Structure 1
């Protein structure tokens, strides 16, 4: 079969043509929901690979250009993310490649990476353990030489209402007064049996599964403290949801709930205090939501560090 003439191999590049409509600069152009694996450095130093979804974008500063070179963004992603452990240095090199490959078109680049971080957690009292999955989002931007990156995650916990606990205690006191006469000589064994009965503990406070979503802007010079941030959140809240649970674990969890009664405002203040004490965190934005078992609506609290020009209290759901 005869070969095609050389000029037949010159494929048209419509994107390189001048814009047909009114010329305009664009803030961001790129691709979303790109499926690609990322490599994470584990606590023990091992490298783990996990699937991720990525958004890759550059701006279009040349108002006369019709479009960017999206295939170049993808090829740079495929070069860096599957082969290198995820780090600020990796993302900075990747974003620099984005800009170098769009030298005449763009001066800002952005990447957004979303994946699940798996962490093995011990049970509260038994010798068991199990896996927890935490959503993680890493966002990095490069504008000329200014590099910035953010980390976001969410943790689930149990919240027991202080008001409901007080009302339950009042009902238990009333039941005690009804079951034991004022002049009755109390017998220890009888009182212990009463405390262990459904008649005695006639009311319990309501509690619910709750969520804490935290977004932080990190200082330069630090790696991504994914597990450390999750530990910080869970350490502040105390009553995090469990994996493997035997009866002794459930009892220990009930004790934790009783010792950590909290409204959503209390949970938000606990988190705010913990985040303010971490030198790696330049700015933060948090949102706690108590998915009420009493009400049909949720109780929500939002807080930021409050730095000038930093995060606002406008948080997406």
Structure 2
């Protein structure tokens, strides 16, 4: 009788001798495609695609490598159906370290994704989805969790200097048109203002971008992303829009006129929001006004700490 065939033991070179043995700061994988769960800003959750980086230190100098497949499985189990919170990320990183069975003492996770928020138009009642690029980094070392959030948002900036020069040009044209008359009818002035001749100059404006790097308190039960975006956009007053009808475009023009700002003004407005945010330990802001007057950009940055 023939003996049944058995599968040979699979080779494992992980335990081979390590030339030039030394510990390594980080070893892991980058660009893993995984779904994550996020709040949608309206009390529900969304499952969105993310690009995930995971790494642990190789603390054992004589070990050839880490157990990467175990890290991958931990991410599969820990991200797909769990909302991102400080405690949840701590548990996941603890599990990543434990999966290495003594090879690692710390772990790092980076998630890159787009936060989608449904934004209502300024006047028409229409709505559209707006994208906010986000990077969330969680590092667990010596029992201490550090959470860092990077995000960006876009807004419109109208130059105060250009607005002042435009107002002067408009006033001079008005004086030339009506200065010789002692009795000017309001209807005539309104008709002139609505004509092409009634606008001698317009201030320059441009799409602008604000980028944030925020160190969050690690005990957060919920990431403050949606509320934070709302507060930052409200401080600027001119976030870019999604669905736009003519009445919305007019409202946007009015918002720009009411929120004239240099890049320095924008940076200070945003800094005031972050300095008052108890859930943030430290923050950095960089704003860039992508000039329509110049071929170069106007930029400003500011930073601070709230852990006093």
Structure 1 length-normalised TM = 0.91
Q: How many Å separate the matches in 2 of 1:42 and 1:122?
A: 14
Gaps of 5+ in 2: none
Aligned residue number for residue 48 of structure 2: 50
Asked whether the equivalents of residues 29 and 59 of structure 1 are also in contact (C-alpha less than 8 Å), the reply is yes
> Are residues 1:303 and 2:297 paired?
no
1:155 to 153, 156, 172: 153
Q: 1:19 to 1:29 in 2, by over 3 A?
A: same
Deviating above 4 A after TM superposition, structure 1's stretches of 4 or more consecutive aligned residues are: 1-6
Q: How many Å separate the matches in 2 of 1:115 and 1:51?
A: 7
1:168 to 137, 153, 166: 166
What's the secondary structure of 1:169's corresponding residue?
helix
What's the secondary structure of 2:183's corresponding residue?
coil
Q: 1:117 to 1:198 in 2, by over 3 A?
A: same
Aligned residue number for residue 245 of structure 1: 244
* C-alpha distance after superposition, 1:159-201 (max 9, x if no partner): 0001111111111122122222345432222222222222121
Q: How many Å separate the matches in 1 of 2:14 and 2:137?
A: 27
Aligned residue number for residue 261 of structure 1: 260
Q: 1:3 to 1:204 in 2, by over 3 A?
A: farther
* C-alpha distance after superposition, 1:223-272 (max 9, x if no partner): 21111111121111110011111111111110000000001110000000
Aligned residue number for residue 136 of structure 2: 138
Gaps of 5+ in 1: 309-317
Q: 1:3 to 1:54 in 2, by over 3 A?
A: farther
What's the secondary structure of 1:139's corresponding residue?
strand
Asked whether the equivalents of residues 275 and 306 of structure 2 are also in contact (C-alpha less than 8 Å), the reply is no
Q: How many Å separate the matches in 2 of 1:189 and 1:44?
A: 47
1:111 to 86, 109, 112: 109
Deviation, 1:44, is 4.0
Q: 1:29 to 1:296 in 2, by over 3 A?
A: same
RMSD of aligned Cα (Å): 1.9
Deviation, 1:108, is 1.2
Aligned residue number for residue 315 of structure 1: none
Aligned length: 306
Q: 1:265 to 1:93 in 2, by over 3 A?
A: same
What's the secondary structure of 1:301's corresponding residue?
strand
Aligned residue number for residue 313 of structure 1: none
Aligned residue number for residue 220 of structure 1: 218
Q: How many Å separate the matches in 2 of 1:88 and 1:277?
A: 21
* C-alpha distance after superposition, 1:23-67 (max 9, x if no partner): 232211100000001112344443321111000000112222221
Q: How many Å separate the matches in 1 of 2:255 and 2:69?
A: 52
Deviation, 1:306, is 4.7
Aligned residue number for residue 32 of structure 2: 34
Q: 1:103 to 1:307 in 2, by over 3 A?
A: farther
Asked whether the equivalents of residues 15 and 66 of structure 1 are also in contact (C-alpha less than 8 Å), the reply is yes
Which aligned pairs between 1:80-99 and structure 2 lie closer than 5 A?
80-99=78-97
Q: How many Å separate the matches in 2 of 1:166 and 1:2?
A: 95
Aligned residue number for residue 100 of structure 1: 98
Q: How many Å separate the matches in 1 of 2:43 and 2:241?
A: 25
Q: How many Å separate the matches in 2 of 1:23 and 1:15?
A: 13
Q: 1:79 to 1:306 in 2, by over 3 A?
A: closer
What's the secondary structure of 1:293's corresponding residue?
coil
Asked whether the equivalents of residues 41 and 86 of structure 1 are also in contact (C-alpha less than 8 Å), the reply is no
